[in-house]
Chains A and B, each alone.
Chain A
């Protein structure tokens, strides 16, 4: 339908926009191999030294370790709460059903600074000391939605008659779960979990308000960028962070077709 020149124009625009999206990422990844300590382009030579340095940096190590722990804990909480909520919303029609799904969406619908601040003042008010657990609570608030959306999307695509058939054939609740529900849900759970982990792993805004003296990896990166300190080491870490977030997303995309990963975007609009 489109004329030849329109097609060519759209093709060129597409290439340009994709380049705009990717060049900065590729560029910052190249800096990880910069042999000079000065941040200038083009990089002056190739070295793997900064990866070695980053690996042996105690501060970077401890913040990486904290980020992994927080990510795993927040993902675990999100898997339990998100799956339970999705099951309830899918199986039942009840008063306040819309309110529940709206409540779950709030943490990603509102700007992170609002979530962070309100948790910060609530923790202060309740006399809770800032620790790894306050960070986990902060991250869990927005990770739950990710799991919830993935599981709900999967449930909606499966037929409820499967459950009834299983019951009719004499299976108890556990057997129905083990042999019917689990095979249907498992990949959605894995995908939701991976995405929740990826989201927690690079979260900086809520964390600045819910962390005490601890530093997660994004906070470590933010601190060092702002002070312009140890930038070559930061570049090496940034390289790894890009890989750590890209790999789970690619796997999750494979597991859910193209809808699952989109949920992050889609869920935000259904406010």
Chain B
């Protein structure tokens, strides 16, 4: 019994010594905490990223498909000289921009209602209503639209019901635009809501007192203050569309390839160097976009 007590006491004193030692040497504690996550990320993730972009300057052997580690700009030259890749890049960026504008237009009234008109209870409910689609499976949501837009899907059924003809939207660029706008909409609603919620009522009252009509207040007070939130949301809608390949594959048509589809096919061939070279395009576009977004104050918004 006495030994047990003694053992317990010495265990406790050992633990206290360890705590004290760590307390005196905070760098040791920091090192212990950071070693695992930083090593894992630096080695696995960053290592993989760097090796990918290095491989963009390599090539594969035409016969054996083995990667040749010889520096060359050939992949980029092919990209530059082939009109197909320009068209695909243009399509990808164009649809990403259209989706961003559409989401901003759809998100604004909802975010405004949530931030300024809804009662706390209703606001909580709307929050859930926006969050659940955001977290529910992205694949499932694209699939849902594939069935809706199909020839005998719900959309044509509805249109026929009110006396209109079939749309024939299935497997077109328009279908992609609708589905992307749908899938990323919650990403726009949340930051716009956050920006609108922060506008003090007194600003709107001041605008009114100074004789501004509703539309003038919207244009000169609300929109400028909401802009950082809209830009923050647009980072998601734009970047997520740029990198996607599943939506074009499931709801796009024969001429609907995105950068992501080409990259995906090339990885499957396998021609990793060319895939890596083309993948630098969305990364560079996103980099430029982020610089502009920073200028517009998107990073202070959320």
Question: Which A residues are closer than 8 A to B by beta carbons?
Answer: 1-3, 6-7, 9-11, 13-14, 17-18, 20-22, 24-25, 27-28, 31, 38-42, 80-82, 84-85, 87-88, 91-92, 94, 100, 103-104, 106-107, 109-115, 117-122, 124-125, 137, 140-141, 144, 167, 172-174, 176, 195, 198-199, 202, 204-205, 208-209, 218, 221-222, 225-226, 234, 238, 241-242, 245-246, 249-250, 253, 258, 261-262, 264-266, 268-271
Contact = CB atoms under 8 A, between A and B. Distances in A.
Given A25-B136, A242-B137, 10 more contacts: A2-B116, A14-B113, A112-B243, A124-B272, A141-B44, A172-B16, A204-B246, A241-B137, A242-B140, A271-B290
B52 A121 contact: yes
Given A246-B132, A269-B236, A17 B110 contact: yes
A211 B107 CA distance: 36
Contacts of B23: 167
Interface in B246-276: 246, 249-250, 260, 263-264, 267, 272, 275-276
A241 B16 CA distance: 48
A85 B36 CA distance: 8
B292 interface: no
A169 B263 CA distance: 60
12 contacts: A20-B185, A21-B186, A84-B37, A85-B33, A100-B37, A103-B38, A104-B37, A119-B44, A172-B12, A195-B135, A268-B235, A268-B236
A174 B19 CA distance: 8
Nearest to B218: A6
Interface stretch (B1-9, B70-78, B80-88, B147-155): B147-155
Contacts of A91: 26, 29-30, 33
Contacts of B246: 204-205, 222
Contacts of A120: 267, 272
Nearest to B31: A88
B145 A18 contact: no
Interface of B: 12, 15-16, 18-19, 22-23, 26, 29-30, 33-34, 36-38, 40-42, 44-49, 51-52, 55, 106-107, 109-110, 112-114, 116-117, 124, 126-141, 143-148, 150, 152-154, 157, 182, 185-187, 190-191, 201, 204-205, 208, 214, 232, 235-236, 239-240, 242-246, 249-250, 260, 263-264, 267, 272, 275-276, 279, 282-283, 286, 290, 298-299, 301-302
Q: Identify whether the interface residues of B are mostly helix, strand, loop, or mixed.
A: helix
A137 B48 CA distance: 12
A173 B19 contact: yes
Contacts of B45: 103, 106-107, 115, 118-119, 141
Nearest to A78: B37
